[in-house]
Structure 1
Amino acid sequence: MGKVLGDVLGLAAGVAVSPLPIIAVILILATPRGRSNGLLFTVGWILGLSVLGAVMLAVASPAGASSHNHPATWVGALKLALGLFLVVFGARLWHRRPKDPSEARLPKWMGAIDRLTPVKVFGLGLALAALNAKNAPLTIAAGAAIGSAGLPAGQQIASLAVFVLVASLGLLAPLGVYLLGGERAKTTLGNWKDWAAQHNVAVMAVLFFVLGLKLLGDGISVLTS
């Protein structure tokens, strides 16, 4: 189990450092129903990662993701494909990043966050976790890594839980600051939001590229060993 955790913690950290979801939860916390909606958004996020990871585990185990405690060939091919996608997408993002960070613009949907119902806030957290172009491939890769390790079901579930927890730290941090920071929390969260908004594209591009290279290496290792 220790080796599996070593494999997935890097992927979980990549999910945790997701500027857009962090900006979204900070904006949600600034609304009149910030406490309840912030919790709903975070629960949706955690559920999205958990369901996607669990689906991958359910697919991987019966499909022979592990052969004699060695990842099956299709797991290597999957990691190779995911890695290639992330590298290409990361290079594309880097090319399109604003030259001046102050010119960065947030997605238009963020302007409507203060008007979202609790159900839509929950759905937004779910979507940003499970349908995000970076988070979904990393979560799928983590599920494949866990499913290909030949672990008992209990250890697979525990490994997925650790992945989800670490992957959620990016949201839990601002939520914790909001709940425990008092009046100074607004200033702190505002500074975090401004920095993430200005450097969102560059951070995402670097993460895409670095994690894509890692998955490419993992895939090649599986396919050639």
Structure 2
Amino acid sequence: MGQVLGDVLGFAAAVAVSPLPIVAMILVLATPRGRRNGLLFAAGWVLGLSALGAIVLAIAGPGGASSKSQPATWVGGLKLALGLLLALFGLRMWRRRPKDASQAQLPKWMSTIDRLAPLKVFGLAVALAALNAKNAPLTIAAAASIASAGLPVGQQIASLAIFVLIGSLGLLAPLGVFLIGGDRAKTTLGNWKQWAAQHNIAVMAVLFFVLGLKLIGDGIGILTS
């Protein structure tokens, strides 16, 4: 299980430091019912990561992701494809990053967060976690690594739970600051939001490129072993 955790922690860290979901959480906390909406947003995020990871485990297990405690060939192909996708996505983001970080703009949909009903706040978090083009490949890769390690079901569930926990720390940090500091935390959260908004593209581009190269290496290693 230790080797599996070593594989998935990198993916979990990349999910955790995704700037846009962190900015979304800070905007949610700034709404009139920030405490409730923040908790709903965190719950939706955790559910989204857990559901996607569980689906991959459910499919990969019967699909023979592990053969004699070694990853199956198709797992190598999956990691290679995900790695190429992430590396190309990272290069594309880096080329499109603003030359001046102060000119970076948030997506237009973020301007509507203060008007979302609680159920839509929850749904937005689920979508950002499980359907986002950035987080989904990382979660799929992590779950595939878990499924291909030949672990008992209990250890697979525990590994996925650790991935979800680490992957949620980026959102839980501003939520914790808000719950503890209340109105006094607004300045701190505002500074976090400004930094994340300005450096979102550069941070994610580097992360995707590096993790993409790792997945490409993992995939080639499995396919040639």
For residues 177 and 217 of structure 2, the distance between their equivalents in structure 1, rounded to whole angstroms, comes to 37
**Corresponding position of 1:13:** 13
**Corresponding position of 1:65:** 65
For residues 182 and 19 of structure 1, the distance between their equivalents in structure 2, rounded to whole angstroms, comes to 22
**Corresponding position of 2:34:** 34
Q: Deviations for 1:70-111, whole angstroms, at most 9, x for unmatched residues?
A: 000000000000000000011001000000001100000100
State the secondary structure of the residue aligned to 1:189: helix
**Corresponding position of 1:121:** 121
For residues 1-225 of structure 1, the aligned pairs below 5 Å read 1-225=1-225
Q: Deviations for 1:20-66, whole angstroms, at most 9, x for unmatched residues?
A: 00000000001101000011011000000000000000011101000
Q: How high is the TM-score relative to the length of structure 1?
A: 0.99
Q: What are the ranges of 5 or more consecutive residues in structure 2 without an aligned counterpart?
A: none
Q: Residue type of the partner of 2:78?
A: L
Q: How high is the TM-score relative to the length of structure 2?
A: 0.99
State the secondary structure of the residue aligned to 2:182: coil
Q: Residue type of the partner of 2:70?
A: H
For residues 184 and 101 of structure 1, the distance between their equivalents in structure 2, rounded to whole angstroms, comes to 27
Among the aligned pairs, what percent are the same residue?
A: 78
CA RMSD in angstroms comes to 0.7
| 1:183, distance to aligned residue in structure 2 (A) | 3.5
For residues 212 and 129 of structure 2, the distance between their equivalents in structure 1, rounded to whole angstroms, comes to 18
Q: Deviations for 1:160-179, whole angstroms, at most 9, x for unmatched residues?
A: 00000000000000000000
| Structure 1 ranges of 4+ moved more than 3 A | none
For residues 53 and 212 of structure 2, the distance between their equivalents in structure 1, rounded to whole angstroms, comes to 18
For residues 181 and 35 of structure 1, the distance between their equivalents in structure 2, rounded to whole angstroms, comes to 12
Q: What are the ranges of 5 or more consecutive residues in structure 1 without an aligned counterpart?
A: none
| 1:204, distance to aligned residue in structure 2 (A) | 1.1
State the secondary structure of the residue aligned to 1:142: helix
Tell me the number of residue pairs that the alignment of Structure 1 and Structure 2 aligns: 225
For residues 134 and 72 of structure 1, the distance between their equivalents in structure 2, rounded to whole angstroms, comes to 25
For residues 70 and 122 of structure 2, the distance between their equivalents in structure 1, rounded to whole angstroms, comes to 38
Q: Residue type of the partner of 2:193?
A: K
Q: Residue type of the partner of 1:44?
A: G
For residues 72 and 118 of structure 2, the distance between their equivalents in structure 1, rounded to whole angstroms, comes to 42
For residues 102 and 177 of structure 1, the distance between their equivalents in structure 2, rounded to whole angstroms, comes to 25
For residues 104 and 150 of structure 1, the distance between their equivalents in structure 2, rounded to whole angstroms, comes to 44
For residues 134 and 28 of structure 1, the distance between their equivalents in structure 2, rounded to whole angstroms, comes to 21
State the secondary structure of the residue aligned to 1:181: helix
Q: Residue type of the partner of 2:125?
A: G
